[in-house]
Amino acid sequence: MTADDEGNTPLLREPPLPEYGATHGALPPTRQSFKRNLGTAEAFGIIISIVIGSGIFTSPGAIDTNVPSPGVALVVWLVGGILAWTGAATLAELGTAIPGEGGVQPYLQYIYGDVFGFLAAWTWVIAIVPASLAIASIVFVESIYSAIGVTDQSDQMSHKLLSMLVLLLIGMANSVSTQFTTRLNKFFVMTKFVAILAIVLAGLGVVVSHLAGWNQVTEPGSSDWLRRSWFGSRNTVGPDGREIEWSNLNGWEMLGHCSAALYGALWAYSGWDKAIYISAELSAPARQLPLTINTAIPVVILSFIAVNVAYYILLPWRVVSTTDSVAVTLFNHLLGPVFGLAAAVLICLVVAGSLLGCSFVASRMVVAAANSNWLPGFLGRIGSVSGQSPSTADAPVNAILFNTACTMIFIFFGNFRALVTFNGLAEYTFFFLTMIGAIILRAREPELLRPYKPFIFAPILFAVVSGFVVTRGAIFAPLQAVVLVAVWGIGLGFYGVRRQFGKRWATGIEPVN
């Protein structure tokens, strides 16, 4: 790369031969990328499909266990949503200012250099994305087993094989074409709102029946929402039967429980960052990306709070904290096992939608890493495995196959709780670096064109929270932290080898001595 007459280094370049890594997030123009054929509606649907997944149906119990009252639990859901919104707004700022594909990778590369960009891409492709897909696949299978009363055999090989089968089916659906995936995604978005609407309407029905004098409560606790204070302290019981007496906790212990509750809420909101993965496929990203985020995230926040209010209306409060399948438990409690099974089927459709969306954006991450010459080039091909790209076959099949294989490894060796902790620790490490980078960039390049620029408190607030999440995760989950460091070590070794031999691998030409 050469400098201009004034000694400045140009932002973009067109190398005669592919170099190792892109420069400042810009992809080499000779690389094949995606068509800009997605609109705001499609991007909105993808975000809704990913974020409204298993979290809203599984996290409420864990959050309720770790807070002193239902009112505080609702505050935690609100705070988690606002934090997700600040993070998404900051990514929208970076996504409209810095060109590139692959999530936070081009931003970290632009701000910190190639090594950080590579590590972000490597960690997402090898660890974060497979862990996320493994979690969703496991939840899909566990929802079915929970509906028939089997809740203690999640580590059985049959469960893992079924999870792999679900993953394969989702991968096949994503391999047809982008248009097919977006159409299928619309169906799954509809099922999500149907599930949410069913729960909220059931809660409203109970309230209306009480106001009309129709409600004759016979079971103790079924009217907790009416008879007890929503912010009054009460003891909670976890799935293991351990009771937490909040009146006896000191400040440090209470902080630990509340941070665990916030961690659960942030996991439920996970996926808020996924809009930037498809920014390269938006027809007008500078306008559509902020619009998508500022529309989808508030809808998700309102939906999550409404559903949790309905949980506390429909269930005895002692039940909420003792289950990891709140929605299935709810319908079992109200209407019997048949409706519980129907609820499980509906939740499986919701989780399938999240799997479809996650798999969709995950393949884009692999393509972006391959386009940056950080992974073998064949993983960046768009179209069939052979590399042909007819207009109706624009799915990154090779990337989908690669993601599927990596995810199966995580399913085989992992379990739900360990994967959730590992995924959160890995993601929020790079979210923290990204937020700090956005603040640095405001000071370093104030003249950088930013079509969308939120208040500076957005990246500052999220940097503080993400730093806390990472620190807490490293302290309380040292094994997952060690695994993450090992992934980085292997990645740096791969980076060094590929940097040394990258030009030979990219061109197939042996160096001349």
Asked if pLDDT for residue 105 goes beyond 50, the answer is yes
- Using 50, 70 and 90 to split pLDDT, how confident is the model at 177? confident
CB 127 within 8 A of CB 484: yes
Could you give the CA distance from residue 425 to residue 479 in angstroms, rounded to a whole number?
Answer: 11
Q: Assign 348 to helix, strand or coil.
A: helix
CA dihedral 489, 494, 499, 503 (to 10 degrees): -170
Give buried/exposed letters for 370-379 (b at 16+ CB in 10 A, else e): bbbbbbebeb
23 SS3 class: strand
| Residue 21: predicted pLDDT | 38
Q: Of 67-76, 387-396, 504-513, which range is least confident?
A: 504-513
- In CATH, what is the architecture of 40-502? Up-down Bundle (1.20)
Query: What dihedral angle (degrees, nearest 10) is formed by the CA atoms of 343, 348, 351, 355?
Result: -170
**Cα separation of 328 and 342, whole Å?**
9
Structure tokens given for 227: 């008879």
Tell me how crowded residue 484 is: count the other CB atoms within 10 A of its CB.
Answer: 20
Quote the pLDDT of residue 141.
84
Q: Are 288 and 39 in contact (CB under 8 A)?
A: yes
Q: Choose from 5-14, 266-275, 455-464 the range with maximum mean pLDDT.
A: 455-464
| Percentage of the residues of the chain whose pLDDT score is greater than 90 | 25
Span 99-124, average pLDDT: 87
Instruction: Assign 504 a pLDDT band (cuts: 50, 70, 90).
Output: low
Region of poorest pLDDT, from 334-338, 378-382, 444-448: 334-338
| Nearest in space to 275 (alpha carbons), one of 265, 259, 290 | 290
pLDDT of the residue at 28: 40
Listed in sequence order, the residues at least 6 apart from 441 whose beta carbon sits closer than 8 Å to its beta carbon are 94, 110, 111, 448
Answer for the pair 380, 31: CB distance below 8 angstroms, yes or no: yes
**d(C-alpha 63, C-alpha 178), whole Å:** 36
**pLDDT for 438 beyond 70:** yes
Instruction: Please determine, for residue 319, whether its predicted confidence score (pLDDT) is greater than 60.
Output: yes
Task: Say if CB 196 and CB 306 are below 8 A apart.
Answer: yes
Q: How confident is the model at residue 254 (pLDDT cuts 50, 70, 90)?
A: confident
Mean pLDDT of 176-205: 83
Report pLDDT for 300.
93
pLDDT reported for residue 149? 63
Q: Is the pLDDT of residue 431 over 80?
A: yes
Residue 118 banded pLDDT, cuts 50, 70, 90: very high
pLDDT at 387 over 60: no
pLDDT over threshold 60, residue 26 = no
**Rounded distance, CA 92 to CA 79, Å?**
20
The percentage of the chain sitting over the pLDDT mark of 70, rounded to a whole number, equals: 82
Instruction: Provide the pLDDT for residue 29.
Output: 38
Q: Are 289 and 95 in contact (CB under 8 A)?
A: yes
Parse the chain into domains and list their residue ranges. Answer: 40-502
CB atoms within 10 A of CB 366: 25
Specify which residues 26 forms β-bridges with.
23
For Cα atoms 462, 72, 203, give the angle at the middle one, nearest 5 degrees.
110
pLDDT bin (cut points 50, 70, 90) of residue 95 is confident
Whether 24 shows a pLDDT value over 60: the answer reads no
Q: Show the 3-state SS of 415-428.
A: CHHHHHHHHHHHHH
Instruction: Please name the residues in contact with 367: beta carbons below 8 A apart, sequence gap of 6 or more.
Output: 33, 34, 101, 102, 379, 380, 382, 396, 399
Mean pLDDT of 47-61: 81
Q: How far apart are CA 494 and CA 484, in angstroms?
A: 15
Residue 282's DSSP bridge partners are 38
Token pair 């620790």 in the structure block, residue:
425
The pLDDT of residue 99: 74
Task: Give CA–CA dist 143/135, Å, rounded.
Answer: 12
Residue 151 pLDDT class (50, 70, 90 cuts): low
Amino acid at 462: F
The answer to whether residue 391 scores a pLDDT higher than 90 is no
Instruction: Calculate the average pLDDT of the chain.
Output: 79
What pLDDT does 217 receive? 52
Residue with tokens 């929208």: 92
- Res. 59: pLDDT tops 70: yes
pLDDT exceeds 50 at position 274: yes
Indicate the range of 5-9, 90-94, 329-333 predicted with least confidence: 5-9
pLDDT level of residue 462 (50, 70, 90 thresholds): very high
Using the structure block, give the residue that is written with the tokens 């809740």. Answer: 151
* For helices 478-507 and 114-123, angle between their N-to-C axes, nearest 10 degrees: 110
pLDDT in tens, 404-427: 999 999 999 888 778 888 988 899
Contact 454, 95 (CB under 8 A): no
Predicted local confidence at residue 363, as pLDDT: 85
Contacts of 511 (CB under 8 A, 6+ apart): 504
| The three-state (H, E, C) secondary structure of 433-486, written as one string | HHHHHHHHHHHHCCCCCCCCCCCCHHHHHHHHHHHHHHHHHHHHCHHHHHHHHH
Task: Give residue 146's pLDDT.
Answer: 67
197/44 Cα distance (integer angstroms): 19
Among 199-213, 231-245, 347-361, 478-492, which stretch is predicted with the lowest mean pLDDT? 231-245
| Inter-axis angle of helices 40-51 and 337-371, nearest 10 | 120
- How many CB atoms within 10 Å of residue 130? 26
Please report, as a single letter, which amino acid is at residue 215. Answer: N
HEC readout, 212-274: CCCCCCCCCCCCHHHHCCCCCCCCEECCCCCEECHHHCCHHHHHHHHHHHHHHHHHHCCCCCH
What's the pLDDT at 71?
94
User: Cα angle at 264 between 298 and 354, to 5 degrees?
Assistant: 60
Average pLDDT on 304-332 reads: 83
Average pLDDT estimate for 237-260: 77
Residues belonging to the chain: 513
- Answer yes or no: is pLDDT of 203 > 50: yes
User: Which pLDDT value is given to residue 51?
Assistant: 84
